[in-house]
């Protein structure tokens, strides 16, 4: 089964995330430090969610995914060529 995670060699143009957000570097980060999966999303919806989590005092960790590797409804992401992300969150004071 193919991985749904984007590989470094497939890096796209840099995305500007809010200061409380960053991209996942190593899968081990998820298990270290109280991260919990919140959603899979992209586009404007993801931007609103990231803003709301920031206002609520959360850090956000994003894992870029391949839309074709996601089960369920990802047709809109595929058709629009949108980036999809799995979002992990934790309280900002959890470092």
Domain range annotation of the chain: 18-94
Taking the C-alpha atoms of residue 31 and residue 9, their distance in angstroms, rounded to an integer, is 24
- Tally Cβ neighbours within 10 Å of residue 90: 17
> What mean pLDDT do residues 51-60 have?
96
> What mean pLDDT do residues 16-35 have?
89
Question: Strand 58-65 and strand 84-91: pairing?
Answer: antiparallel
Share of the chain above pLDDT 90, in %: 40
Residue 9, pLDDT score: 37
Share of the chain above pLDDT 70, in %: 68
Residue 67, pLDDT score: 72
Predicted model pTM: 0.75
């Amino acid at each position: 089964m193919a991985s749904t995670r984007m590989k470094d060699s497939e890096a796209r143009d840099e995305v500007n995330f809010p200061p409380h957000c960053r991209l996942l570097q190593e899968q081990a980060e998820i298990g270290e430090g109280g991260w919990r999966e919140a959603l899979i999303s992209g586009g404007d919806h993801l931007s609103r969610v990231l803003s709301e989590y920031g206002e609520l005092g959360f850090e956000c960790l994003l894992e870029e995914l391949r839309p074709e590797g996601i089960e369920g409804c990802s047709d809109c992401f595929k058709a629009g060529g949108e980036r999809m992300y799995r979002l992990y969150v934790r309280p900002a004071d959890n470092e």
